[in-house]
Amino acid sequence: MENKANADMDAYWNGEGGDKWVSFGDRLEASLKPFGVRAIAAAALQGDENVLEVGCGCGPNTIDLAKKLSGGQVRGLDISATVLEKARQDAVANKLSNISFDCVDAQTGDLGVSQYDLAFSRFGVMFFDDPVRAFKNISGALKPHGRITFACWAAPGKNPWVAEPLALVAKHVPLPPPPEPGTPGPFSLSDEARLRDLLAEAGFINTAVEIFHASMVLGDGVAEAVDFLMNMAPSGGAVNRADPDAATRAAIATDLGDMLKSCQGAKGITMDAAALIVTADKG
Ligand SMILES: C[S@@+](CC[C@H](N)C(=O)[O-])C[C@H]1O[C@@H](n2cnc3c(N)ncnc32)[C@H](O)[C@@H]1O
- pLDDT tens-digit profile of 88-106? 999 999 999 999 999 999 9
- CA 47 to ligand 1 centroid distance, Å: 25
**Per-residue pLDDT, 2:** 54
**Per-residue pLDDT, 256:** 97
- CA 35 to ligand 1 centroid distance, Å: 15
Does the Cβ of 20 fall within 6 Å of ligand 1? no
CA dist., res. 164 & res. 36, Å (int): 24
- CA 251 to ligand 1 centroid distance, Å: 32
Does the Cβ of 79 fall within 6 Å of ligand 1? yes
**Per-residue pLDDT, 182:** 85
- CA 261 to ligand 1 centroid distance, Å: 32
Question: Which residue puts its alpha carbon closest to atom 6 of ligand 1?
Answer: 56
Contact residues for 253 (Cβ-Cβ < 8 A; gap 6+): 226, 230
Pairing, β 116-122 against β 264-265: unpaired
CA dist., res. 165 & res. 124, Å (int): 23
Instruction: Residue 134: name the closest of 172, 188, 74, 70 by CA.
Output: 188
> What one-letter code names the amino acid at 91?
A
Does the Cβ of 78 fall within 6 Å of ligand 1? yes
Does the Cβ of 55 fall within 6 Å of ligand 1? yes
Enumerate the β-bridge partners of residue 99.
74
Residue 222, classed as helix, strand or coil, is helix
Hey, which of 8, 64, 78, 132 would you mutate to test ligand 1's pocket, going by the most ligand atoms within 8 Å of its Cβ? 78
**Per-residue pLDDT, 88:** 97
**Per-residue pLDDT, 3:** 72
What residue ranges of the chain have pLDDT lower than 50? 1
Question: Which residue puts its alpha carbon closest to atom 16 of ligand 1?
Answer: 127
Question: Which residue puts its alpha carbon closest to atom 10 of ligand 1?
Answer: 124
Does the Cβ of 6 fall within 6 Å of ligand 1? yes
- CA 197 to ligand 1 centroid distance, Å: 22
- CA 95 to ligand 1 centroid distance, Å: 23
Contact residues for 129 (Cβ-Cβ < 8 A; gap 6+): 5, 6, 8, 9, 107, 184
Instruction: Say which CATH architecture domain 7-155+179-215+271-282 belongs to.
Output: 3-Layer(aba) Sandwich (3.40)
CB atoms within 10 A of CB 262: 8
* Residue pair 78/124 in contact by the 8 Å Cβ criterion: yes
**Per-residue pLDDT, 180:** 86
**Per-residue pLDDT, 179:** 85
Longest dimension (CA), the chain: 58
